[in-house]
Chains A and B, each alone.
Chain A
């Protein structure tokens, strides 16, 4: 549902059905709504059967990369000769994205159930849920729910009497965007600085504490109980034409739009319907100028591109961007694109872990050059300078943080060049003081 607004008829409400319903937060309330049936079922299934079911559903990672979930699970060793771990990524910090927060706030048991099923499927007895430090309310709700799940025997040494151990530990982050990157997150759980690790080794081989590990996003895991309850075929049928993108997806919409919130749609829904019908379109008297469709780390789309796009992994790529986390930042005709691109670059410069030179220097220099342009001191050479910096920040570092900084800069120069030009030519009042 378009929480905090009621469901729109064009939504397909699966994960968000109980958003805003406080009774769904309790164990009993969740069971009354059909909760924990999937976990009971899963505990009676073999690991392989669960993995096959999830593979057949077509579920792909909802954190941003879109990697097939069942396939990821199948990379875990078949024999458990040392501890396996499940790490749930609840470090939602991609600007524009606020869906995992609502899953945890309103349906904590959906996540616990999904985690428990996934842990069993990958042969893990322990799951760590990494919740960003700023999420005080989700933390409190999740803490209470985990305690309740233990008290009712859903978790613990003998989950639902199955003889299988499923333990769940909440781990609180402390303010670092980069810890949402899976290898940085593993370091953070281990009590280290959140520096991403070089891959390989991949987490399924040597992950958390050097042990085989699977990392999944909150929304991905919350979808798993529904797949077990209603079957892979049902989930796969939630698709409007492109068989590579199945199921429902939560979209966080924010910025200059009439009804910002979380909407849940079937993959393949026209983006135009989402923006104009579900979320209510632009503010009166305004038109959209730009949409960043997948959290701030993806290329900026023009209004025309967004209006032509189908909302699924491939559909957004066809229109020049990426689905990412589906956190949509909507900007209307009042937006100063240069200023906002500078603000994004500043975000990445602030959040760089500073391990890789290209990122540490590149994000900082990009920010400075953009600030110079905004201060009315830009030069014609700055376009090429920014593009050169972006080139050196793309595909050359341990993680993709610097690529993410480059994406809005490059797409911004390509698509909104006249706005840069206005500052450089002195046709627009400086937005920042000279440095």
Chain B
């Protein structure tokens, strides 16, 4: 799926039909989750992770689907989605890069790593997606690996001790 097609402006949510996420195996996974918590609502964070895993981001119709599956309102689900910074509420590049710039990394040169990542990825600005749709880069608050400054997350790959000179080589691994 072209990640940008569902973001085509006004009314796109109604013109692009939502393909349900929780069917088949995904539905079974959700049902198994229900057994691990005393309420269905407690499955909200894991359910949102499942949506993001399958679709790459969490759209309005997906919010509606999660709400229905868990018996809560879409407004409530949206409130939760927007509270947590790791859920994408809009499409992002094929590879999502998070660079830690909080104090411990900051004093070890994290801002230069950000510059190198922005330049090598072609994203230009933080939060923007590169014109080829390959990368989106953000600054992230403390990744909890302060002794290995600067850590970056590329998708689910946690990479430690990143310095500006290593950035082009790292990005090459993500076509």
Instruction: Decide whether A and B are members of one complex.
Output: yes
Residues of chain A whose beta carbon lies under 8 Å from any beta carbon of chain B: 4, 83, 92-98, 100-101, 132-137, 169, 171-177, 188-194, 209, 252-256, 260-262, 292, 296, 327, 329, 331, 335, 340, 343-344, 347, 350-351, 353
Contact, CB under 8 Å: A97 / B146: yes
Contacts of A133 in B (CB 8 A): 84, 86
Contact, CB under 8 Å: A254 / B45: no
> Which of A92, A97, A98, A137 neighbours the largest number of chain B CB atoms within 10 Å of its CB?
A98
Contacts of A260 in B (CB 8 A): 146-149
Contact, CB under 8 Å: A171 / B45: yes
Given A98-B144, A101-B144, A191-B70: A174 and B48 within 8 A (CB)? yes
10 residue pairs, one from A and one from B, having the closest CB atoms: A191-B44, A175-B86, A174-B84, A254-B146, A175-B85, A260-B147, A191-B41, A193-B83, A95-B142, A136-B156
Q: Mark B4-48, 1 if CB is under 8 A from A, else 0.
A: 000000000000000000000000000000001111011111101
CB distance from B7 to the nearest CB of A (A): 21
Given A255-B104, A329-B104, A340-B103: A132 and B44 within 8 A (CB)? no
- In the assembled complex, B174 has its CB within 8 A of some CB on chain A: no
Contacts of A350 in B (CB 8 A): 141
CB distance from B31 to the nearest CB of A (A): 15
CB distance from A96 to the nearest CB of B (A): 5
CB nearest to B70 among chain A residues: A191
Contact, CB under 8 Å: A174 / B147: no
Contacts of A135 in B (CB 8 A): 144, 158
Contact, CB under 8 Å: B145 / A101: yes
CB distance from A167 to the nearest CB of B (A): 8
Place the interface of chain B in its size category.
35 or more
CB nearest to B77 among chain A residues: A191
Q: Mark B136-173, 1 if CB is under 8 A from A, else 0.
A: 00001111111111000100111000000000000000
CB distance from B16 to the nearest CB of A (A): 25
Q: A191-B44, A343-B101 are in contact. List 9 more A-B contacts (CB 8 A).
A: A93-B141, A171-B45, A176-B84, A188-B45, A190-B39, A191-B39, A254-B104, A256-B108, A353-B83
Docked Cα-Cα span, A97 to B72, in Å, equals: 36
Contact, CB under 8 Å: A340 / B106: yes
Contacts of A256 in B (CB 8 A): 107-108
Given A134-B140, A329-B104, A340-B107: A171 and B46 within 8 A (CB)? yes
Contact, CB under 8 Å: B103 / A347: yes
Given A134-B86, A194-B83, A253-B147: A347 and B102 within 8 A (CB)? yes
Docked Cα-Cα span, A190 to B42, in Å, equals: 4
Docked Cα-Cα span, A98 to B143, in Å, equals: 9
Contacts of B145 in A (CB 8 A): 98, 101
CB distance from B153 to the nearest CB of A (A): 6
Residues of chain B whose beta carbon lies under 8 Å from any beta carbon of chain A: 36-39, 41-46, 48-49, 70, 72, 79-80, 83-87, 98, 101-104, 106-108, 140-149, 153, 156-158
Contact, CB under 8 Å: A177 / B142: yes
B38 interface neighbour in A83, A137, A344, A347, Cβ under 8 Å: A83
Contact, CB under 8 Å: B146 / A327: yes
Contacts of A96 in B (CB 8 A): 103-104, 146
Docked Cα-Cα span, A271 to B48, in Å, equals: 44
CB distance from A185 to the nearest CB of B (A): 11
Contacts of A174 in B (CB 8 A): 45, 48-49, 84-87
Docked Cα-Cα span, A327 to B83, in Å, equals: 26
Contacts of A171 in B (CB 8 A): 45-46
12 contacts between A and B (CB under 8 A): A97-B146, A133-B86, A134-B144, A172-B49, A174-B45, A174-B86, A189-B45, A192-B41, A193-B80, A254-B104, A344-B103, A351-B141
> Which of A93, A95, A329 neighbours the largest number of chain B CB atoms within 10 Å of its CB?
A95
Contacts of B102 in A (CB 8 A): 95, 296, 343-344, 347
Contacts of A296 in B (CB 8 A): 102-103
A98 interface neighbour in B36, B49, B103, B146, Cβ under 8 Å: B146
Docked Cα-Cα span, A192 to B80, in Å, equals: 6
Given A93-B142, A169-B36, A340-B103: A191 and B147 within 8 A (CB)? no
A132 interface neighbour in B98, B144, B147, Cβ under 8 Å: B144
CB distance from A272 to the nearest CB of B (A): 20
Docked Cα-Cα span, A95 to B79, in Å, equals: 26
Docked Cα-Cα span, A192 to B98, in Å, equals: 25
Docked Cα-Cα span, A242 to B42, in Å, equals: 43
Docked Cα-Cα span, A112 to B84, in Å, equals: 27
Contacts of A95 in B (CB 8 A): 102-104, 141-142, 146
Contact, CB under 8 Å: B143 / A255: no
